[in-house]
Structures are given as structure tokens and as C-alpha cells.
Amino acid sequence: MDQFTVQPEAAGTRLDLFLAAQRPEHSRARWQQLIREGRVRVGGQARKASHEVRTGEEVAFEVPPPEPAGLVPQEIPLNILFEDADLIVINKPPDLVVHPAAGHATGTLVNALLHHCADLAGIGGELRPGIVHRLDKDTSGALVVAKNERAMSGLVHQFKEGLVQKEYLALVWGHVEPRTGQIETLIGRSTHNRKKMSAQPETGRRALTDYEVMEQFSTAAVLRVRIHTGRTHQIRVHLAHIGHSVIGDVVYGRARRDELPAPALRQMLHAHQLAFAHPRTGVPLAFTAPVPEDFRTLWRAFRESDKLRGT
């Protein structure tokens, strides 16, 4: 087992925080897991994560090799915006599930990533190797994946503290007024349908979304949307909450196919820009995911439809 001796300046620090500071390549959550598994000893004794270390204490630990994720690598094409030894930024296409789950054991982004980067297996100690955040299956755009434990820890911290800038483009129904606005509600699981989220739950977590109209059509609009929190389905729930559901979103809106000037075979939501600090160097990084063809086609179709109508 490896070990550290607690120095005076670290005295009074929680055990999990002490370890995360000494070995930042592992996240605090990972250290808490190792403590629960009995792989950390203080003075030869098992302690809780909340134990406050004292000067001179010997903290011994054992970090096992990453667990094999038990997932199948698959040769699925990836649109890579950036890659280095620590992370990879993908432009996720629509209709691609991020990680395996019930009904999607293969054919996911994780399967593709494991083929592209075999060392990804087990990062984070979960069955979602390297996955720091997610996009819905039918949402396209920029997504960052960690390639090692240190990058995982740093990126998770930035997402948790709201340090990551996320900007989306959304095609929505209706005439949006005001043209700029902020939506703030609690978001939680719907009491009527457990597969849906709701902006008016009895209990929920704070969610904050900013929007700006980029282009207004007679029956629809293109919005630039920035989220300050990362709740499940946040943008879709918030835009439906103000009466402007995302076009193609049949969960929080209606299909309305007969009102479309071009097909919308999925929800018209695209993660356009993603900015964060490099988890190892601290250098600011910013990425723009090109707008996919189906989104651009519908955008142009609404514009041309209005021209034909003279509106």
C-alpha cells in the first residue's frame, strides 16, 4: 500500500478531501468509494470519509487497477473536434445514445470510444467510462469525454461548480416574446409520468436557463440557449414550460408534422458551443460543433416558407 504522512497544514481536513488533494488524478467520489471498500487506513484503522486527519497520522491506501467495463468496443465513426492525452471532444450526431442502458447494449458513443481509445475502460470506476456529461439520444453537438482519472476529476469539478459554458441552438414553435429571457424553476421527476421531468414538481432541483431569439419566423424561432445548471431534459422542459416546445420533441410537445416546411425526425436541439479549462493545464478551451444538416435544412425551410408567404 502507498501512504502519506499528514503535515501540519493539512490537519483538520476530511479524509476524502485530503486524499483528493494528494492524488488529484482520482476524484473525491472515487476516494469515497475506496474508503467504503476498506482500501484506505489511517494509523492502521479503517475510517469514514468524514474523519478529520491529524498531524503525523499515516494514511495508507490501495488503488486497484481500473475495473473492466465489460463493454464491447465497436468501430463506429466519430466526428472528433479535439483530442489530446487527457480528453476528447466529440461532435455527437443525432440518434446516438451516449452510454449503454436497457434497450441499448451496443451501438452507443461509449462503444465507439472504447474502440478508438482502449485505455478508456474503467475510467471513473463505472460502466460509463470517461463520461462526464450527457446529451439526449436525439440531441446533437459537442460533448467532452475524460481519458484518465485526473481529467475525469477536473472536468467533473468544473461541471459541478458551473464553470463549464454550454450554449445550444434550438428550433422552437411559436412567436417568442420577449426576445431575450431567463427561465428559473425547480426541475424534478414528473408525478404523472416517471419517464418525464417537470418544471412544477413538488420537489426538485434549481434550474436556470437563458435564451435569445436569433431568428423569428411566423410560426417558429431559432433560439440561442445557455444553461447554468445541468438538469435532465432541462432545455426541453424549460422551453415547453414557457409555451415554446422544441420542434420534433414529442415528449414535451406535439408532433405537428403537418405544420412543418421540412421533416423533423428528431428534436431540433444542438449543443453548439462548449467551453471549459483544460483539467491538467488550466488553459481555456472552447469548441464549436457545426450545425447538422437536418437542423440547417429545417432552418432554411422556415425562412423560405415565410418568403413565399410574404411575411
Q: DSSP characters for 18-49?
A: HHHHH-TTS-HHHHHHHHHTT-EEETTEE--T
Return the number of other C-beta atoms located less than 10 Å from residue 143's C-beta: 24
So what's the pLDDT on residue 112? 92
So what's the pLDDT on residue 69? 53
Q: Per residue in 263-289, pLDDT tens? A: 999 999 999 999 999 999 999 999 999
Query: Please, which pLDDT band fits residue 29 given cuts at 50, 70 and 90?
Result: confident
So what's the pLDDT on residue 126? 57
Catalytic residues: 136
Domain at 2-61, CATH homologous superfamily? RNA-binding S4 domain (3.10.290.10)
| Lowest-pLDDT range of 45-54, 159-168, 191-200, 226-235 | 191-200
Q: Per residue in 142-197, pLDDT tens? A: 999 999 989 999 999 999 899 999 999 999 999 999 999 999 999 988 877 777 88
pLDDT exceeds 60 at position 141: yes
Give the domain ranges of the chain.
2-61, 80-156, 165-309
CATH 3.30.2350.10 fits 165-309, yes or no: yes
Could you tell me the CA-to-CA distances from 37 to 31, 34, 125, 268 in Å, in that order?
A: 10, 5, 13, 44
So what's the pLDDT on residue 125? 54
Residue 258 DSSP one-character state: G
User: CATH topology of 80-156 equal to that of 165-309?
Assistant: yes
So what's the pLDDT on residue 189? 82
Q: How far apart are CA 113 and CA 116, in angstroms?
A: 5
| Run of H or E including 226 | strand 220-227
Q: What CATH number belongs to 80-156?
A: 3.30.2350.10
Residue 101 DSSP one-character state: B
* CA nearest neighbour of 134 among 271, 292, 247, 295: 271
The pTM (predicted TM-score) of the whole model is: 0.77
So what's the pLDDT on residue 301? 97
Per DSSP, the three-state class of 222 is: strand
Q: For residues 147 and 253, is the Cβ–Cβ distance under 8 A?
A: no
Pairing of strands 140-146, 269-277: parallel
So what's the pLDDT on residue 66? 61
